[in-house]
Structure 1
Amino acid sequence: MTTTNIDPEGVYAVVELNYQGVFRRCPFSYEDGMKFTFTEHDWASMNYAECVTFLEKFMHENCKKLYYCEPDEPMYKGLRPISNDVEYASFIFITFGTLGKISLFVDHIGDELEDWVDFDKEGEEHDSCIEGRENGDDT
């Protein structure tokens, strides 16, 4: 079920699933994929493994890695991995504090995004081109 009217007072979090795409390094983005907006799914009732199983059944594809983007942040600053129950709990916490929707991104290939973005430093880049800059150059 998709919707364009998002009710921030609703019972369920609104989650936009981005899948069957690929992460691009220059500029840092997720491209060539599909989108589906879940408006009536109880994400908080699942743990990480149950979420991955649910998503794989929905997509009919394997999920190598899962990420979400913190609301109101560009992808290079707000992208966060979900690889265990602790990170999934953070996703749930942020999801229910969001007015609007939160985006999930599925990595079907297993890209090493940790080589592109330092998740511990919240948005600091390595060698990726971000916002039109290549390798940190402003040219």
Structure 2
Amino acid sequence: MAEDADTIVDVHYNGVFTPTPLMYFNGVKAFVPYTVVNKMNFPDFIPFLEKLTNGRCIDVYYCPHEVRLSEGLHAIQNDCDFNEFLEDINEKKRLDVYVDHHHEPLFHWIQEEEADLEDEDLVSIDDVDSILEDGLKAEHVEDDENDDLVEEDHNAIRPIYLRHDHTQEWNEMKPQLGMKYSTTTELKYFLSCYDVANG
């Protein structure tokens, strides 16, 4: 059994789940000691999370810390799920709780991710052996004698790229292919002016 003082529950909220690979993006993290969670029942846990996150908790999930979400994600929807969650806390020193505010189809995304991994063309040992054998049978190809006769044209006309004119009116700025900017800040300013002018 894990020590109560060392066991932590990381609560991730106000973020968004993204598919392939399944991740929780741009969330806020709060640390809750095990001693607080261990004293609760499922009916107390969801209101506790809603108070902690200052919002409605539509779906709640947990995953062992440092395990990919697609491999260890579990839903907490009833007393049975909550009891499994408490048992997992006892076995591990740290668990991550994720609050899904948008009711995303996470388990469908996990199935799609697993199907994509199975469909990838993996190179087998037989394929590698056949490639190696083909490489051993190849004959040496002589260099083409005409390669030495080809000269590089150093007098070729180089392309001319426009430079951004920072004195131009903001509402008349138009992008040109290959236009150069002196700094990234100048590029950002140009793009924001163009976006505002042409909405």
Q: TM-score range by the shorter chain?
A: 0.7 to 0.9
State the TM-score, normalized to the length of structure 2. Answer: 0.54
How far apart, CA to CA, are the structure 2 residues paired with 1:43 and 1:21?
Answer: 22
In 1: Cα distance, 2:117 partner to 2:65 partner:
25
Aligned: 1:20 with 2:14: yes
Structure 2 residue 45 is matched with structure 1 residue 37: no
Question: How far apart, CA to CA, are the structure 2 residues paired with 1:89 and 1:81?
Answer: 12
Question: Are the equivalent residues in 1 in contact too, given 2:9–2:32 (CA < 8 A)?
Answer: yes
Instruction: Give the Cα separation in 2 of the matches to 1:138 and 1:80.
Output: 29
Q: Give the 3-state SS of the residue equivalent to 1:127 in structure 2.
A: helix
Partner of 2:45: 51
8 A contact 1:14–1:102 mirrored in 2: yes
> Which of 101, 104, 120 matches 1:108?
101
Aligned length: 121
| Structure 2 alignment gaps of length 5 or more | 123-199
Q: Mark the runs of 5 or more structure 1 residues left unpaired by the alignment.
A: 1-7, 118-125
- CA root-mean-square deviation: 2.4
Q: Distance in 2 between matches of 1:111 and 1:51?
A: 21
TM-score w.r.t. length of structure 1 = 0.75
For 1:86 and 1:112, how far apart are their aligned partners in 2? 21
The one-letter code sitting in structure 2 at the alignment partner of 1:112 is: P
| Partner of residue 86, structure 1 | 80
Once the two structures are TM-superposed, the CA of residue 63 in structure 1 deviates from its matched residue by 0.5
Provide the secondary structure at the position in 1 that maps to 2:98.
strand
Work out which structure has the larger RCO, using CA pairs closer than 8 Å and 6 or more positions apart in sequence.
1
Cα deviations by residue, 1:103-137 (Å, 9 ceiling, x for unpaired): 000000111112123xxxxxxxx22379xx67843
My pick for the range that moved more, 14-23 or 62-71, is 62-71
Q: Classify the secondary structure of the residue corresponding to 1:17.
A: strand
Identity in percent: 26
Q: CA deviation at 1:40?
A: 5.8
